[in-house]
Structure 1
């Protein structure tokens, strides 16, 4: 199975979870009256199964399954489908409804591939390209060490010429501080995408 996840920042994750689940639970009842009002082709009311509490919900459709979890400040959504077409169909369905329910304070749904495909119930397999996740960290640390060494060498060369010392040291300290800030922001952004 293919999976995708979205972590949607919101002050009211439980409200959106319950609203989405209630909508699909009721959709089964009124679908026969208005089958073309939503983009749900070839779907009968008996094919929609919805279960929810204030903090967790599950929506099962013929195309796949959507699980929701309301955590403080975040609505987590995970979608599982057998193929890419159905995965995209579920992503579009959930994104459209969350967008509709959050018209006053629009929520942005950004889907991330979870990186694992499920071969059998309860057993996830990790794709080969993710088995070496430590390699990326090693490369980042290596690049940082080389950059610091180059800056120290440049700084030492400049300090050898006493006429430039004051201005160049100030410039180098500023450049290093800006670079460290940018690297820190990039690492924080990368971590937030992963976690």
Structure 2
């Protein structure tokens, strides 16, 4: 398992978290509220997002045999789509 911890600096973390959760809830199991979301991708990847006042915290757990960088790309491209006014967002690995 590969685990990637990162954060995305933004003042709109809660809004982007909720938009992403609603969007992906049609494709996979998602639980969320305004500050926390948990995504279970079909390939076994798990994504946890936590909205803070000035950033969106990300924890991405990718199973062996899956491409972790591709999953990062899926996440960042979707975030940039919702954050088109401030895109591209920085994805800062912790």
Please report the TM-score for the alignment, with normalisation by the length of structure 2.
0.87
Residue of structure 2 equivalent to 1:14: 14
8 Å CA contact 2:83–2:89 kept in 1: the answer is no
SS in 1 for 2:91: coil
Task: Tell whether the 8 Å contact from 1:25 to 1:49 is kept in structure 2 after alignment.
Answer: yes
In the TM superposition, what are the counterparts of 1:156-195 in structure 2 within 5 Å?
none
**Alpha-carbon separation, structure 1, partners of 2:3 and 2:92:** 10
Structure 1 or 2: more helix by fraction: 1
Q: Which residue of 2 aligns with 1:99?
A: 80
- Establish whether residue 49 from structure 1 lines up as the match of residue 57 from structure 2: no
Number of equivalenced pairs: 93
- C-alpha distance 85-74 of structure 1, shift in aligned 2 (>3 A): same
- Larger Cα Rg: Structure 1 or Structure 2? 1
Shift of 1:110: 2.3
Deviation at 1:87, TM superposition (A): 1.6
**Higher relative contact order (CA closer than 8 Å, sequence separation 6+):** 2
SS in 2 for 1:99: helix
Cα distance, 1:111 vs structure 2 = 5.0
- Asked whether 1:4 is paired with 2:8, we answer no
TM-score by length of 1: 0.44
Query: Which runs of no fewer than 5 residues in structure 1 stay unpaired?
Result: 29-47, 113-193
Q: Indicate the structure with greater strand content.
A: 2
**Deviation by residue 1:73-98 (Cα, 9 ceiling, x = unmatched):** 01011100112643222211101100
Assess if the C-alpha contact under 8 Å between 2:46 and 2:61 holds in 1: yes
SS for the counterpart of 1:103 is coil
Q: Hey, which bits of structure 1, 4+ residues long, moved more than 6 A?
A: none
